[in-house]
Amino acid sequence: MRKGIAFVVASLLAATAATAKDDATMPDEAAAIFRDGYVVVEYSDAGRAQLEGVIGALKEALAVPADLDETNEREVDRFDVDPGRKGLVIALAQSYFTLGVVFAKGEDGEEDVYRKGKHWGLKSLRMNPDFAAIEDQEGFVEAVGSATDVPALYWACMNWTSVANFDRLAAIPAGIVGKTVAMLERILELDETYDCYGADRVLGSIWGALPRMPFGTYRKNLERARGYFCRVVDDAAACGAPSSCPIDPICAQYLGNRRAFAEFYLMERRLWEEAAAVLRSVLDAPIGETYPLLNARAQADARELLEQVNEHL
């Protein structure tokens, strides 16, 4: 399994919370799967086909021309979208991420799926004229500090880190890690609960999966990773008594939190027995009705990780 900047692709299995459901222009196909703010399709070939159909419907609703190269950031930026349809742009970025992390993982076209999602996500941020002006005059990180649209920040970030995974050696000096960490920290300021405390989960994954280096700001820091994970995982051995580190009960329902904790903290610490126990708890847990798609994928990944852990027991 890829490491380094792979932290997000390998760990998130994000619960795909969305606000685009409220957009009056949402196509029927998309409205059918954005239920109570979450993407719900079957974890199957039929579910994949449904999600791909939704992506097509969103593009049709936005009047995206067939010859628009979505893998080209400048082309997507130049494409004119009515500000009232920003919700559709965010939904498109979210849908591409979900397609990549759940269904296209390991396929030849996986990187392009995330690249398209990244460009739509960044476009959704730049549709705010204040964000665009600050980015142009002062830089991206400064613009992030002024952003208030959590879904736009989140889905742009998820896709961007996923793209970075495919050239992880260049991601740190290129500033991608610094920019995405800034986005996640801004999300924590605005709404720490978004996507079942997704920013905490991802920041824990980032600091746990960064390469070990003798110097530099962005290098593996397992204590920092533990701090973020202990906000979403109730583990007395790693985090202390629950009373000293209160956890929102909803976090236990989302299996991706424990799955990420096992891979990017316990396995990185080489705590094999502890990792095995957490992964087994993921496999033994019910899929549930709130996050059925992503919990199914989390269990599939937990099964694969447990095979790796068992080699050390």
In DSSP notation, the chain reads ---GGGHHHHH-----B-SGGG-TT--HHHHTTEETTEE---SSHHHHHHHHHHHHHHHHHTT--TT--TT-HHHHHHS---GGGHHHHHHHHHHHHHIIIIISTTSTTHHHHHHHHHHHHHHHHHTSHHHHHHHHHH-HHHHHTT---HHHHHHHHHHHHHHHGGGHHHHTTTTHHHHHHHHHHHHHHHHTTHHHHHHHHHHHHHHHHSPP-SS-SSS--HHHHHHHHTTT---HHHH--GGGS---THHHH-HHHHHHHIIIIITTTT-HHHHHHHHHHHHHS---SSSHHHHHHHHHHHHHHHHHHHTT-
Q: What is the pLDDT of residue 213?
A: 82
- Predicted local confidence at residue 10, as pLDDT: 36
At 120-139, the pLDDT tens digits run 999 999 999 999 999 999 99
Please report the domains of the chain, with CATH numbers, ordered by start residue: 4-310 (1.25.40.920)
* Confidence (pLDDT) at 37: 67
pLDDT at 242: 61
Q: Rounded distance, CA 311 to CA 302, Å?
A: 14
Q: How far apart are CA 116 and CA 127, in angstroms?
A: 17
Distance CA 11, CA 302 (A): 10
In the chain, what is the straight-line distance between the N-terminal and C-terminal CA atoms, in Å? 19
C-alpha 145/C-alpha 185 separation (Å) is: 9
Below-50 pLDDT ranges, the chain? 1-23
What pLDDT is attached to residue 211?
86
Q: Which pLDDT value is given to residue 226? A: 96
Determine the pLDDT at residue 144.
98
The pLDDT of residue 12 is 43
pLDDT at 241: 66
> What is the predicted pLDDT for the residue at 24?
54
Phi, psi of 34 (to 5 degrees): -90, 85
